[in-house]
Amino acid sequence: MSTPNLHPWLWHIFNHEKRTLILSTLWCNWKWRNTQVIANTSWSVTYVCQLIRRQKLECHLYCSRTPQEQDGHWAPLDQGDVKLNVDGSCSSHKSMGGGGVLRGGRGDWQFGFSTCYGQGSPLLAEILAITDGLMHAWRLGYRNIACETDCMEAVDAINIYDMRELSLHVHKDKLLQIHNILRKNWRVKIVHIPQEWNTVADCLAHEGANGLIKEFITPPPLALEAFLQDLANIG
């Protein structure tokens, strides 16, 4: 495409009502092609479509945030209770992993985990990571926690309590399991946060997708830099 034709084409995209979807599609297709050419790895069409939907949602969430939220960072709970951060990861070969970290009121490391779930989808990996994180928190005796994830789709799915609607969800059994966990005698709040605030859990989840299954009582080297950065941000 020549430069004279490029400018009106870009102008048309940026002014289109579905510009977020168009740009997300172009970005993911570019990544798809590079992965095939450079890494000699083939992605399925289904996987690429999932990436496009996730990228579109993340763009929408980012653009809807205030300047304060965009410049924000991870922070512990004001009242000193425990915060659980979880994340799911899914490789181009559909290998799912999950990771999470429990931290105290000063950002101090309480517990972390990386795990592998086998084959599946990005959304399923997120749901399974939330499930595992909650189960670890309960097992360790915490009874008042905030659970943070950067997957809005998972938060929305967990908040489906209409049984007719829930019965239609592809992961209804896993969501019902989370509902049962939440009914235990404890206080849990599941909230969505920006991806940049969830870097420690992201590091742990990626290792899980690569096959690592391990629990951590201290920050592991694979997540140490992200953990220290969070501590620096909160002073």
Regarding pTM above 0.85, the answer is: no
Burial string for 199-219 (b: 16+ CB within 10 Å, else e) reads bbbbbbbbbbbeebeeebeeb
| Percentage with pLDDT > 90 across the chain | 51
Q: What is the mean pLDDT of residues 69-93?
A: 78
pLDDT in tens, 143-169: 999 999 999 889 988 988 888 888 888
Which CATH number does the domain 82-233 belong to among 3.40.640.10, 3.40.50.2300, 2.40.50.140, 3.30.420.10? 3.30.420.10
User: pLDDT band at 68, cuts 50/70/90?
Assistant: very low
Q: What is the mean pLDDT of residues 110-132?
A: 96
φ, ψ of residue 118 to 5 degrees: the values are 85, -155
The CATH 3.30.420.10 portion of the chain extends over 82-233
Residue type present at position 99: G
Q: What's the chain's average pLDDT?
A: 86
pLDDT in tens, 123-135: 999 999 999 999 9
Q: What pLDDT, on the 0 to 100 scale, is given for residue 28?
A: 84
Contacts of 133 (CB under 8 A, 6+ apart): 84, 85, 86, 98, 100, 102, 113, 147
Residue type present at position 96: M
Please answer whether residues 187 and 94 qualify as being in contact, where contact means their C-beta atoms are separated by less than 8 angstroms.
Answer: no
Distance in angstroms (rounded) separating the CA atoms of residues 212 and 206 = 9
